[in-house]
Amino acid sequence: MITRRDALKATGLAIGAALILPRLSMAALAESVPVDGLMQPGPLGDVWLGPKDAKVTIIEYASMTCSHCAAFHKMTYPTLKERYIDTGKVRFTLREFPLDPLATAAFMLARCDGEAKYYPITDLLFDQQPAWAFTPKPVDALEQMLKQAGFSKEKFEACLKDQKLYAAVNGVKQRGLETFKVDSTPTFFINGERYTGEMTVDGIEKIIKPILGA
């Protein structure tokens, strides 16, 4: 079992392709789950973007050290947000599914300052992923990165020592694994339909435009 102590070790973790589960066909894995259960928030609550009455709801399970997740957030998410979330057509949330101790630590840091800092920090870490996740001393690099978000050394260390937060992040993952059968990242639930693998703007639009009547 991974402990909190593991999440603090700057030991040059080999976080690469071996830790990132295979990207699979979205079409082959599209299936429904009960929407009522899916919409229930986990132990950390959900940080939603977009209105409650949006016709389309997208829930993403991701790992901060997953290269396909980072690619989605750099290449697809900005356009999705501009075209659909900011215009009130889509409601979106990112849920924690850490694949390794470093990803757990990153999500803990993103949650430390509450909802207001969640997306600024996750966006920063996805955008700069190679600069901290794939370095000889990733936790040291992560600490330097979080200085941009106003984290002092004391705040950084206190956040990673928060056992309640550690348990909650892993609780979100465990619920996704056991209840919604999430087993790789990124995994998306679009109005209750599950799609596994990195998604392009075109791929998402093929799914959501018929729902939106576009």
| Model confidence band, residue 190 (pLDDT cutoffs 50, 70, 90) | very high
Q: List the one residue out of 52, 15, 59, 68 whose CA is nearest residue 37.
A: 59
Q: Residue 20 pLDDT > 80, yes or no?
A: no
Tell me what pLDDT residue 31 has: 65
Tell me what pLDDT residue 100 has: 97
Tell me what pLDDT residue 42 has: 87
The mean per-residue pLDDT over the stretch 49-69 comes to 97
- Pull the structure tokens for residue 106: 């990153």
Q: How far is CA 110 from CA 33, 45, 58, 140, 184, in A?
A: 28, 13, 20, 16, 21
The tens digit of pLDDT for each residue in 22-58 reads 333 344 345 677 778 899 988 899 999 999 999 999 9
Lowest mean pLDDT among 8-12, 58-62, 114-118, 149-153: 8-12
Tell me what pLDDT residue 57 has: 97
What is the rounded distance in angstroms from the CA atom of residue 35 to the CA atom of residue 54?
Answer: 15
Q: Residue 149 pLDDT > 90, yes or no?
A: no
Q: What is the model's pTM?
A: 0.85
CA 46 centroid distance within chain: 11
Q: Residue 7 pLDDT > 60, yes or no?
A: no
The mean per-residue pLDDT over the stretch 201-209 comes to 97
What is the rounded distance in angstroms from the CA atom of residue 108 to the CA atom of residue 91?
Answer: 23
